[in-house]
Amino acid sequence: MIGKAAGPPISITGLGAYAPDRVLTNDELSTIVDTTDEWIMERTGIRERRIAAPEQALTDLALPAAHAALDGAGVAARDIDLLLCATVTPDMMFPTSSALLADMLGAEDAAACDLLAGCTGFMYALAQAYGMIAAGLAGRALVVGGDVLSRILDWTDRSTLVLFGDGAGAVVLEKVDRPGFLGFELGADGGGGVHLSLPGSGSRHIEDATGNGYVQMNGREVFKFATRVLVSSAQAVLDRCDASVDDVDVYIPHQANVRIMDHAAQKLGIPRERMVVNVDRYGNTSSGSIPLALADAQAQDRLKEGDLVLMTGMGAGLTWGSALMEWTR
């Protein structure tokens, strides 16, 4: 799916993020599985990641991020009409984390549902919230992306354990005076889904002693997929919006792996200094990755009025998605 924004100007007016306090370094990981800081840094660029406390579930990470986003937008929770929560690690399948979060926030009038699109969930949720507002079905949306992947990792499997971390981010979307979102491109390839899966998480398999309850990944295949779609999806949305890579001021790819991100920036021709990188500090936080990076960019004053911001996610499904927007304060 690809589309150029045709509705009224809609943008992000508030932004927040939260990552748990607990820092897990590569050196500490090397006491848990057979790995080294050198291997992890060389292959992924990840130095450390955050791990949720035992009592923390997804909504505990999402709540502070949501509060910060609402405060930033100057919007009360009761004025939110739509709350979308993109995650593959909800507190539980139901009640949904979005419904729980709406209750915690006091967003009494909000329609709320969770969205499953792997690590691309936040991009899908942004596009859906945009569409609902553009169509006049909602006035303001709160879009949350977050995951507690540490709960679905096999802590004896070095090939996945070193890659991921926990975190969440949230944004408020509403109508503004000048164009914010310019276009979206979203896609899915279920045929490649086998390369990144959580088999014991639904009605196909029950969780058992075979490891079905943990993330299973073919790293090389995911690497090939990621390097391909980060480029093709970004290029597609730029083309559709009649924009060029030279116009991109801030590039925010899914924070999966520095090697994948560098490859995408190089292929696209985006100078590295325009790319936001925080995977070194957080690892891959799945649906939390792009909003955490957006929040970092904002904290570093890298998001200026009128800047062209390109975001591209990819992940389980396999899925991918890009959004192009002009930043509005």
**Window 182-201: residues binding ligand ACO (CB under 6 A):** 196
Type and span of the H or E element at 251: strand 250-253
Single residue of 245, 316, 324, 325 touching ligand ACO by CB under 6 A: 316
Q: Which stretch binds ligand ACO (CB under 6 A): 1-9, 130-138, 159-167, 172-180?
A: 159-167
Which is closer to ligand ACO, CB of 112 or CB of 230? 230
DSSP 15-65: EEEE--S-EEEHHHHTTTSS--HHHHHHHH---EEE---TT--HHHHHHHH
CB of 305 to ligand ACO, least distance (A): 31
Within 8 A by CB and 6+ apart from 40, the residues are: 26, 29, 46, 162
Contact flags string 72-111 toward ligand ACO, x per CB under 6 A: ----------------------------------------
Q: Is 284 in the site for ligand ACO (CB under 6 A)?
A: yes
Q: Is 286 in the site for ligand ACO (CB under 6 A)?
A: yes
Q: Is 162 in the site for ligand ACO (CB under 6 A)?
A: yes
Which is closer to ligand ACO, CB of 37 or CB of 79? 37
Annotated active-site positions, please?
A: 119, 254, 284
Beta carbons of 311 and 164 less than 8 angstroms apart: no
State CA 74 to chain mean position distance: 23
**Window 31-60: residues binding ligand ACO (CB under 6 A):** 35, 39, 43-44
Single residue of 47, 67, 158, 205 touching ligand ACO by CB under 6 A: 158
**No. of helices (H) and no. of strands (E), the chain:** 10, 14
Contact flags string 214-243 toward ligand ACO, x per CB under 6 A: ---x-xx-xx--x-----------------
Q: Is 119 in the site for ligand ACO (CB under 6 A)?
A: yes
Number of residues lying near ligand ACO (CB under 6 A): 23
Q: Is 256 in the site for ligand ACO (CB under 6 A)?
A: yes
Report the residue number whose CB is nearest to ligand ACO: 219
* Count of other CB atoms within 10 angstroms of residue 5: 22
Amino acid at 301: D
Q: Is 315 in the site for ligand ACO (CB under 6 A)?
A: yes
Beta carbons of 312 and 264 less than 8 angstroms apart: yes
Which is closer to ligand ACO, CB of 189 or CB of 239? 189
Q: Is 24 in the site for ligand ACO (CB under 6 A)?
A: no
Q: What is the CA radius of gyration of the chain?
A: 18
Which is closer to ligand ACO, CB of 140 or CB of 263? 263
Tell me the torsion sign for CA atoms 303, 41, 166, 203.
positive
User: Look-up: residue for tokens 């691309």?
Assistant: 120
Q: What are phi and psi of 8, to 5 degrees?
A: -70, 160
Which is closer to ligand ACO, CB of 181 or CB of 223? 223
Which is closer to ligand ACO, CB of 72 or CB of 192? 192
Bond into 95 cis (ω within 30): yes
DSSP 152-208: GS-TT-HHHHTTB-EEEEEEEEEE-SS--EEEEEEEE-GGGGGGEE-GGGSSSS---
CB of 187 to ligand ACO, least distance (A): 14
Virtual torsion, Cα 176, 146, 268, 327, nearest 10 deg = 20
Which is closer to ligand ACO, CB of 13 or CB of 227? 227
Site residues (vs ligand ACO, CB under 6 A): 35, 39, 43-44, 118-119, 158-159, 162-163, 196, 217, 219-220, 222-223, 226, 256-257, 284, 286, 315-316
